[in-house]
Structure 1
């Protein structure tokens, strides 16, 4: 927890998962207007705001933009350096970490773990939070590797505006889901 607090993810780590009401989310998506980024309800218009993100998730909304490269040239090296282990993927290049791999490698931490091992586990947990709670994609089975380099120095992680990227991802997913060809939705649906 101290490393999660240091990185600014302490409040998000306390969020417990719950069953979402997909029929309610579907009704909201039907009322989403991409041109204004608002829900048009019978009584008024509503939208999720940065203030909602800050209050509900405890994420910082001020700071540097969360950016990363979509293709990492040596993913096994970056995983080994920051997580202490790397997926033994048959491919030399992979773009995401599976949640099942994160669980197998980081579910239990030895009581004799070193500070380095605890920091690696904290990074893995933050990656899981990013991919499963804050910015899940429609498949919801992996987290993109582009976020891992941002977790190199856990003290600097809180200098990023994680709340802004969570809200932007939710807006993008809501806009994408309004298209007739969309089947599923990603994004931080607990904000809805």
Structure 2
């Protein structure tokens, strides 16, 4: 048996690590993300994850099980997280001509010159900037 074919499966859990500010809850509820915001901890079943990883087929994006093939659907996510999915899908190419300006207008801060090629925001950057709301934060 060649050891290069196998590697240990290690888990990594990324969570907020801090309680969310209660002033945000009405907005999260309005966006129908209130139930997701309440998820703090969860157990990872490494044996189950490893079994699924072994059965994943990248070519078809499905799990090959003894009984049939299956994949994770948006409906599965809805049922697991309690999200309400309605309205039109958000797809397509962005037509935002100045994303850094939009970021500044919405958040009051934008990426620095080092990240001038604005293609998205990292959660680590958001956490560093917005981990705690200031006492006089506006809507």
User: TM-score w.r.t. structure 1 length?
Assistant: 0.49
The structure with the greater share of residues assigned to helix is 1
Q: Could you say which residue in structure 2 is the equivalent of 1:40?
A: 64
CA displacement 1:138-181 (0-9 Å, x = unmatched): xxxxxxxxxxxxxxxxxxxxxxxxxxxxxxxxxxxxxxxxxxxx
**Correspondence for 1:99 among 114, 117, 123:** 123
Contact 1:32–1:39, Cα closer than 8 Å, also in 2? yes
Q: Over the residues paired in the alignment, what is the CA RMSD in angstroms?
A: 2.8
CA displacement 1:52-85 (0-9 Å, x = unmatched): 2112112233321112535853222011111111
SS at match of 1:90: helix
| Alignment pair present for 1:111 and 2:135 | yes
Residue segments in structure 1 that go unaligned for 5+ positions in a row:
116-192
| Alignment pair present for 1:75 and 2:76 | no
**Correspondence for 1:30 among 18, 37, 54:** 54
**Correspondence for 1:62 among 57, 61, 86:** 86
CA displacement 1:90-110 (0-9 Å, x = unmatched): 343221212222112111112
Q: Could you say which residue in structure 2 is the equivalent of 1:16?
A: 40
CA displacement 1:29-61 (0-9 Å, x = unmatched): 331345665423235544333332112112233
* Cα distance in structure 2, aligned partners of 1:19 and 1:95: 33
Dislocated runs of 4+, deviation >6 Å:
none
Q: Alpha carbons of 1:91 and 1:32: their partners in 2 closer, same or farther (altered >3 Å)?
A: closer
Question: Which structure's relative contact order is higher, taking Cα pairs within 8 Å and 6+ residues apart?
Answer: 1
